[in-house]
Amino acid sequence: MALYIYNTQARKKEKFEPIRIGKVGIYVCGVTVYDEAHIGHARSAVVFDAIIRYLRYKGFSVNHVTNFTDVDDKIIARARELNMKPLELSKKYIDEFFNDMDRLRVTRANHYPKASETIPDIIEIIERLIANGHAYAVNGDVYFDITKAKEYGRLSGQSLENIQAGARIEVEENKHNQADFALWKSAKEGEISWPCPWGAGRPGWHIECSAMALKFIGETIDIHGGGNELIFPHHENEIQQSESVTGKQFAKYWMHNGLLMVNEEKMSKSLKNFFTIGDVLSAYDTSTVRFFLLNANYRQPLSYDENSLENAKRSLERLQNTYSELLAARGKMHGSDDAKEISQEALSEFEGKMDDDFNMREALAAIFSLAREANRLMAEKKLSDRGVENILSTLKAFDSIFDILRREKKGLEEQASKLIELILRARESARKRGDYAAADALRAGLKELGITIEDSVEGSKWKIGK
């Protein structure tokens, strides 16, 4: 079945046809590394992880590039605040980002270029833009001439007239037009900088992505992705500067994930309403977090709160329980139903929903439906061993993309702890009603498992070992 993708630029779903048969180049805008990544960043990372996994599942060879903005105004300001060098600060948070992504089981990209390591490529592009009249240098700064833009607003729907009319009130004297955007910024005293034909400075925000996409994918990329807050001005400006250099279409398909919302506001560091990935993963296991982030239309906003994560946890546990029961049932079933038809139907439904612009919520619904059928067949003792394997095969195909069926050791330990506490309460209840034989039996049973009970005036406590 053909894959259809909602193209932000076309404002409709389009049949996916890569530039080169069987190969996909995808560029996803990464983070500006001046602080810890938050769960909003996790949404984009996990969503595009599932998208890229599915493209590979479909047989495509994927070249995935995600960048790091490791030098900009925010990084410079934060580094000064912490008395660090900007690239030391950004390296610290890049390392933390990778740790977060590994914990979220996000597949590593093929390339993670940094702005600071792409300076020669950036300078070359700016030189070409100046040479062909699309940019100009003044007092060490370089700007893209917005009046030379072609079809400005085709991605965002913003008109050039509105951009010019809404240019910032704070006038920058160096600009020919207040809507012109910076390609290169001259260095202020004490700031990090690199030498270039216009004087020491550093790149503007937009130009780094153009340089990295051209370097690691080519003049036209199949898919450009990122959060929908980047549509304007970042991605709009990327189109203009890239196509002004190459004369070719910059990206064939534009994909944007919706924002993560807290109390109907965008989760962001500037609003101080964010939760770090580390904080969330200290409270919930990776599978629950991935399930929460993927069980939605990726293009729509997603509300974050603890209730939604608790609901996700309970819902996912039902699916994980079925998966565990199927694994335990291998070689033990004596029914006659091989579940071939329901397994194939579920897989076909799953793939059909994913082919429809990665409709992950409906794809998950198909798998939950299969789990319910599996539970029924096991309860009615109709399932055969072959049936167990057929259902497991479908679940494993699904999980190669969503990666949510495994239970982490941390989660199992938490469940075991709760079970021991439940046994202690049952023992205490037996003691209060004078059933000491039952209480002793519970104590002995825990001892056989290596768990020692210590009674005191404060109550009973347990520990592993003597």
Give me the tens of pLDDT residue by residue for the chain, a chain 466 residues long: 899 999 999 999 999 999 999 999 999 999 999 999 999 999 999 999 999 999 999 999 999 999 999 999 999 999 999 999 999 999 999 999 999 999 999 999 999 999 999 999 999 999 999 999 999 999 999 999 999 999 999 999 988 877 776 554 456 778 999 899 999 999 999 999 999 999 999 999 999 999 999 999 999 999 999 999 999 999 999 999 999 999 999 999 999 999 999 877 767 666 666 789 999 999 999 999 999 999 999 999 999 987 999 999 999 999 999 999 999 999 999 999 999 999 999 999 999 999 999 999 999 999 999 999 999 999 999 999 999 999 999 999 999 999 999 987 655 566 677 788 888 888 888 888 888 888 888 888 888 877 888 787 657 767 665 5
Nearest of 423, 352, 394, 443 to residue 58 by alpha carbon: 352
CA within 13 Å, CB half, 335: 19
Q: Which residues contact 447 (CB under 8 A, 6 or more apart)?
A: 453
For 4-266, CATH gives 3.40.50.620
For the CA atoms of 274, 279, 284, 290, the dihedral, rounded to the nearest 10 degrees, stands at 50
The CATH fold assigned to 316-402 is Four Helix Bundle (Hemerythrin (Met), subunit A) (1.20.120)
Nearest of 168, 165, 162, 195 to residue 182 by alpha carbon: 168
CATH 1.20.120.640 domain residues, the chain: 316-402
Contacts made by residues 351-355, CB under 8 angstroms, sequence distance 24+: 351/1, 352/1, 354/54, 354/401, 355/1, 355/2, 355/3, 355/4
**DSSP tag of 447:** H
Contact 247, 132 (CB under 8 A): no
Going by their DSSP bridges, the two strands 4-7 and 221-227 should be labelled as unpaired
CATH 3.40.50.620 domain residues, the chain: 4-266
Cα gap 36→27, rounded to integer Å: 22
